[in-house]
Amino acid sequence: MPGYTYENFLPDEPIVIYTALEEWNTPENLAASDDHGRDIIFNVDQPIFWILDISQITLDITSMMMFANKYTRGEDATWTHPNVRQLCIITTDELVHQMAAGMRQSDAFGYLDVKIFPNRDEALVFARETS
């Protein structure tokens, strides 16, 4: 089990939901999940809502920095790719809220506009009403 799943609503809706499962292990799962996500993002024919559901896991500061660096920096960064119309994160973790606020205000992370939602339903409503 890879520790994550992807739900692809394409082509009907420009939405992909990535869910980190309880067995998620950042050092073990990060590279594979990034490869999988890159395959999706780099090959869609329209900008998508990338919904990251991390509500089942707790990330420590090291893991959050690994996520932020891996997904926002460099040529192959997925969260800042032009095919990502909006990054939405599902969590109630206050530390993730703070990280998102920092990413919105940081040149190092591309002033990434991250939307935070407490649950999947609210994230999907936002994506569907905004698309």
Q: Does residue 28 carry a pLDDT above 90?
A: no
Task: Please check whether residue 49 is in contact with residue 131, taking contact to mean a CB–CB distance below 8 angstroms.
Answer: yes
Q: Does residue 131 carry a pLDDT above 90?
A: no
* 76-87: average pLDDT: 92
Better pLDDT: 117 or 110: 117
Report pLDDT for 42.
93
**Pairing status of strand 114-117 against strand 15-20:** unpaired
Report pLDDT for 1.
58
Report pLDDT for 74.
83
Check residue 41 and give left, alpha or beta (phi > 0: left; psi -120 to 50: alpha).
alpha
Report pLDDT for 43.
93
Task: Please check whether residue 83 is in contact with residue 40, taking contact to mean a CB–CB distance below 8 angstroms.
Answer: no
| CA nearest neighbour of 27 among 1, 58, 63, 55 | 63
| Residue ranges covered by each domain of the chain | 4-130
Check residue 101 and give left, alpha or beta (phi > 0: left; psi -120 to 50: alpha).
alpha
pTM of the model: 0.92
CATH class of 4-130: alpha beta
CA dihedral 33, 52, 108, 83 (to 10 degrees): 80
pLDDT per position as a tens digit, 83-108: 999 999 999 999 999 999 999 999 88
